[in-house]
Amino acid sequence: MRRERMAERLRQRLRFLSLSPLTSVSLNHVCFLLPQQCAGERIWSSLKEEGVSLAVGQAYSGIEGVQRSYREALSLLTYLSPNTFRAYESLLLPRVLMGDKEAQSALLDKLLGGLKKQRNGDVLCETLLVWAQANFHLSKVAKTLNVHPKTLRYRLTRASELGALDLTDPDTRFQLQLASHLLSFRDKKNL
């Protein structure tokens, strides 16, 4: 009965926000679709209740995107504390550090996936990873890659634009360093 009451409160909140109340219930879960323009926090504020937690996946388009977001939300369930709201992105890094293989792949895809799809994306990915391994020293990276410093700066700017990465952000830099370590560990493991 508690699950059904929660599902009804959720449907009412979605209608109040002029959203389609697309919900489903299973066991002790209430699943629902949330458009990208609506933040999960808005839903969470109306559902807070003792013993209730909310996990949301990232926003994607299409049927495959809905399925992917659902799998992301499900992957968070073991990491949720009671009475908490968590978005997939907020737990990605802790999960990577705890050795979660799915989270490691998701982090690599988040940082490098968009670049790999671009023309010469492999060069841009290599440049970012070498830059992270060299602790972000341009002269060391230019020597390692055997390129002119202007070429290196161009590649970094291009990678930043195409990958939507803020290369001045310490968190992004940390994630790039972590990605370089993950990839080097994978390479050593595959030998």
Tell which wins on pLDDT, 7 or 180: 180
85-116 pLDDT per residue, tens: 888 888 888 888 888 888 888 888 888 988 88
Q: Please compute the mean of the pLDDT values over residues 113-128 and round it to a whole number.
A: 88
At 80 the three-state DSSP class reads coil
- Which residue bears the tokens 């070498």? 130
- Is residue 191 scored above 60 in pLDDT? no
What mean pLDDT comes out for the span 66-88? 82
> 29-32 and 23-26 as β-strands: parallel, antiparallel, unpaired?
antiparallel
Q: Check residue 187 and give its pLDDT.
A: 57
Split at pLDDT 50, 70, 90, the class of 189 is low
Higher pLDDT, 171 or 43: 171
Which has more pLDDT, 50 or 168? 168
- Percent of the chain at pLDDT > 90 equals 23
Q: Is 85 in a helix, a strand, or coil?
A: strand
Gap between the Cα atoms of 51 and 56, Å rounded: 17
Give the number of other CB atoms < 10 A from CB of residue 117: 9
| Distance in angstroms (rounded) separating the CA atoms of residues 32 and 23 | 4
Greatest mean pLDDT range, 4-13, 31-40, 164-173: 164-173
Q: 154 pLDDT band (50/70/90 cuts)?
A: very high
Domains of the chain, start order: 2-91 (no CATH), 99-190 (1.10.10.2840)
Number of Cβ atoms within 10 Å of the Cβ of 175: 20
Mean pLDDT of the chain: 83
Q: Evaluate if residue 121 carries a pLDDT over 50.
A: yes
pLDDT at 190: 47
d(C-alpha 176, C-alpha 31), whole Å:
33
β-sheet bridge partners, residue 86: 55
